[in-house]
Amino acid sequence: MSTHLEWPEIALRLALALAAGALTGLERSSSGHPAGLRTSVLVCLAAAVAMLQVNILLGAGGRRPDSFIMLDLMRLPLGILSGIGFIGGGAILRKGSMVQGITTAATLWFLTVIGLCLGGGQIGLGLTSLVLALVTLRGFKWIEQRIRGQKQADLIVTTGPGGPSEQEIREQMTEAGLVIAGCAVTYTDQARRRRLLYTVHWRARSNETLRPAIVGRFAQQPGVEALEWCPSNEAGESKTSS
């Protein structure tokens, strides 16, 4: 790699970084994720410009015998990689047991590395990394959506005097494939009305957002006065998956 860069070489590296950021950003935007086209392009270009600056400074003089200044050019890309962690941290959102944005943060970090490669002149490595990134984001997403993972929800059933007993509710949920992880019962109106709170687990694909059929059947049973279904672990970019 030459330490002397001409403008055609600089333009090529910037164009490739822009294309890499645009292709990755289009994939993220089409999937509805927050770090979309413009964010991805800016991150990749910033990393490429930083490495171009390092390349240009390679020909600069080092430390003089009478100077305390040490010229360590590699601190610039290392600082870029450290700084991108703050952006990635801002993309991660946690709400209860649901965590979103981990894949977005990892994409920004990986895109920064691609930009460093393209800006530093490692064109083959950068383009190969871009292909791997696109295959991972698009191809592995198809696989991930078909993996049956564990989901969790709270089922709140309010029953009157003629409603199903707690044992009957448990048996119906067990038959439907729901695993009861916790239960709380509240009695009101001199024990004539019960409010039952169940925390349940079941296995489903990440793109399956419909509630289990048993929930609708509970609502139609005599004596059930109110029913509430509160999913606490919906499919996303990433949970503790996308």
Q: Kindly list the domain boundaries of the chain, sorted by start residue.
A: 7-144, 149-231
Q: Give the separation between CA 139 and CA 159, rounded to whole angstroms.
A: 47
Q: Give the separation between CA 197 and CA 229, rounded to whole angstroms.
A: 10
pLDDT in tens, 204-215: 776 676 678 888
Measured in whole angstroms, the distance separating CA 123 from the mean position of its chain's CA atoms is: 28
Q: Give the separation between CA 38 and CA 114, rounded to whole angstroms.
A: 16
The dihedrals phi and psi of 66, each to the nearest 5 degrees, come to: -100, 20
pTM above 0.95, yes or no: no
pLDDT in tens, 140-195: 777 777 777 778 888 999 988 888 888 888 888 888 888 888 898 888 877 678 88
pLDDT at 2 over 70: no
CATH number given to 149-231? 3.30.70.260
